[in-house]
Structure 1
Amino acid sequence: MRKVLYILSQLNDDDVDWLANAGRTWTAAVDEPLIHEGKPVADLFFVLAGEASVSVSGMGELVRLGRGEIAGEMSFVDSAPPSATVTALAGSSILAVDKRAVQARLAEDTGFAARFYRALAIFLADRLRSTTSRMKSADGLATASIVEDELDEDLLDQVSLAGIRFEHLLNTLSSARSER
């Protein structure tokens, strides 16, 4: 859940409402693929509940994404094909937001663009630090980096608000579903 806090701590309430309204949600089937390694991806995915598995050819499963995790953001930033396959596990609730819609919003709203790209930068920096830390640990090297469940002090002030925004996102999606 911590990863979504990095994203939502930088966005405002209107941004979160836009994501909820621009996206589509569903409950994933057993081993439903979201992203195929090497194939272009059209959406950014948010795991609202449950888990998704991230795997790489020849290596197997690398990690599981839980509630609040995001997938497809690397290909969004650099437009390269995905370097991993992401598969939603049975019963996972997924929000997919079309990347073209996000790009259009970025082009028309510079405030959203600044907040969104800052959020992605923080998110990706944390992922790189976590990966580096795991690699050091695997080599038996001591590490003094941020522990997996520890948040950067600069973000602590915004964590509570980000948690509220995630709940708001879930409630907005739930209300939209019940209106259909």
Structure 2
Amino acid sequence: MNRTSSVDQLIAPDPARMRKVLFILSELEDEDVEWIANNGDRLRYPVGAEIIAFNSHVDSVYFVLDGTFSVLSGNDEQIVELSNGEIIGEMSLVDPARTTASVRANEGAAALRLSHARLREKLDADAPFAARFYRALSVFMSARMRQTTRRFGYGALSEPVEPQAEEISEEMLAKAHRASLRFERLLKRMAS
């Protein structure tokens, strides 16, 4: 069982961030997030720095901490802009195929970079962590795919799909709250 510190209770979750980090951090335990923070490198990137090249192999997962990153097509058209709480390079962790897009830093971009090699060692050595991490990754990638297909008109609905208040369980709210607190702790830890 996770315990929430008094400091955690004072941090009000940012709803926009909460939706982004919900998918990953809500499935992980506090010690998982601590391991990620201890084993990743916090890096700031100058504007235009390419962290993932088109048609390349990716060797790290990036947790966006600040600023934004642009995902670009092969002809340098922006596909999407990713901001804090997003994850980059997660697809290459499970599928080592060459990339079909590039990723470049925008102003104020900072990320926690965790090498695939280090992460795979942890996944191989710690089955409970692996189960939580892969489940979190699956939920995250599924949500991203739904959003992408809706953006391009596949499965479009007449109204935006937002859960109704009566559909949101207390468990979901608690998980979302814990996820936002974990992200806030990760941000504070990386700032020091």
Normalised to the residue count of structure 2, the TM-score between the two structures is 0.82
Render the CA deviation track for 1:81-130: whole Å, top value 9, x for unaligned.
Answer: 22210111122111100110000000010010000000000000001110
Aligned to 1:72: 89
- The match for 1:146 among 158, 161, 174 is 161
Q: How does 1:127-142 map to 2 (within 5 A)?
A: 127-136=144-153, 142=157
Contact (CA 8 Å) 2:63, 2:87: kept in 1 or not? yes
Aligned to 1:158: 175
Counterpart-to-counterpart distance in 2, 1:50 and 1:61: 16
Q: 2:73 aligned with 1:38, yes or no? A: no
Q: 2:108 aligned with 1:108, yes or no? A: no
Aligned with 2:153: secondary structure?
Answer: helix
Aligned to 1:8: 25
Deviation at 1:145, TM superposition (A): 6.1
- The match for 1:23 among 40, 50, 65 is 40
Counterpart-to-counterpart distance in 2, 1:168 and 1:133: 32
Identity in percent: 39
Deviation at 1:143, TM superposition (A): 4.2
Deviation at 1:157, TM superposition (A): 3.1
Counterpart-to-counterpart distance in 2, 1:114 and 1:143: 36
Deviation at 1:144, TM superposition (A): 5.4
Farther off after superposition, 109-118 or 77-86: 77-86
Counterpart-to-counterpart distance in 2, 1:14 and 1:28: 27
Aligned to 2:111: 94
Deviation at 1:46, TM superposition (A): 1.0
Unmatched segments (≥5 aa) in structure 2: 1-16
Distance 1:116 1:52, change over 3 A: same
Counterpart-to-counterpart distance in 1, 2:160 and 2:126: 35
Aligned to 1:178: none
Contact (CA 8 Å) 2:58, 2:96: kept in 1 or not? no
Render the CA deviation track for 1:12-60: whole Å, top value 9, x for unaligned.
Answer: 1111011111010122101111111111111101110110000111361
| Regions of 4+ moved over 4 Å | none
Unmatched segments (≥5 aa) in structure 1: 176-180
Q: How does 1:158-177 map to 2 (within 5 A)?
A: 158-175=175-192
Counterpart-to-counterpart distance in 1, 2:137 and 2:100: 17
Counterpart-to-counterpart distance in 2, 1:98 and 1:118: 19
Contact (CA 8 Å) 2:74, 2:100: kept in 1 or not? no
Normalised to the residue count of structure 1, the TM-score between the two structures is 0.87
